[in-house]
Amino acid sequence: MIPARYAATRFPGKLMQLLGNKPVILHTYDATVATGLFDKVIVVTDSDIIYNEITRHGGTAIYSRRQHESGSDRIAEVAEGLNVDVIVNVQGDEPFIKKEPLEKLVRLFKDPSVQVASIMRKITSKEELHNTSCVKVVVNKNNDALYFSRSPIPFAASTTVDPLYYLHIGVYGFRRETLLKFTQWPAGQLEQTEKLEQLRYLENGIPIRMSLVEFTSVAIDTPEDLRKAAELL
């Protein structure tokens, strides 16, 4: 599922901005379908504009009827009516998503203990490290997330150890039942402080298994990101 809210806070209407010859959301939808990994790909939106854009190109879109605080809440509304085991959430602003990272994500669910999973890559620039739009993650030895933050983590207190920094790529997989539980929990203090919905799982004791990928993309959160995406395209 691809949650697609039109009125994004930092960049309103970003999903309908043209990237090359088609809107960002259509790039994301087409790229996700092209992986061939999924039984069905659905755009879940509150917007007539986005709904019409997807359906007139032969895609599948469903309206979310309620107001939602996060993309996970939005797709959970639709998941209530689906008979499925695992749902993958591809953010609408990831137009360059590819098969390899998604395949790694899906493969994590062969472990029956995995309830929620996501992907990360190494950070290679100071610009990314200090950009608050770039979410960082630290993991344990099992690659379960310990914390997500907009700040650089871990803090490099030692001068003798080279810290490893990981960028969280906003693509998730969920067991359906765990996703539905998510919607019943109130947003905790960490989630409200960082404005990161994935912290709700950690605050409620649900591990997030991370997979390390080499996927490089531009998630479009700002007009500057859109310019970078045009260059990458």
Give me the phi and psi of 58, to 5 degrees please: 85, 10
Which one has a higher pLDDT value, 32 or 219? Answer: 32
The pLDDT value given to residue 9:
67
Is there a cis peptide before residue 95, judged by omega within 30 degrees of 0? no
Confidence of residue 66 (pLDDT cuts 50, 70, 90): low
How many C-beta atoms lie closer than 10 Å to residue 43's C-beta? 26
Q: Which residues contact 127 (CB under 8 A, 6 or more apart)?
A: none
Average pLDDT of the chain?
92
**Highest CATH level, class, for 2-232:** alpha beta
Q: CA dist 119 to 22, 147, 168, 200, Å? A: 26, 14, 6, 17
Cα(160)–Cα(186) distance, integer angstroms: 41
Cα(213)–Cα(28) distance, integer angstroms: 19
Which one has a higher pLDDT value, 68 or 174? Answer: 174
Say if residue 58's pLDDT is above 90: yes
What is the number of helices (H) and of strands (E) in the chain? 9, 11
Q: Per residue in 200-214, pLDDT tens?
A: 999 999 999 999 999
Cα(77)–Cα(100) distance, integer angstroms: 28
Confidence of residue 167 (pLDDT cuts 50, 70, 90): very high
User: For the range 106-110, what are the long-range contacts, defined as Cβ-Cβ under 8 Å and sequence gap of 24 or more?
Assistant: 106/37, 106/173, 107/211, 108/173, 108/209, 108/211, 109/85, 109/173, 109/175
Confidence of residue 59 (pLDDT cuts 50, 70, 90): very high
What percentage of the chain reaches a pLDDT higher than 90? Answer: 76
Say if residue 221's pLDDT is above 90: no
How many C-beta atoms lie closer than 10 Å to residue 185's C-beta? 13
Domain layout of the chain by residue ranges: 2-232
Confidence of residue 86 (pLDDT cuts 50, 70, 90): very high
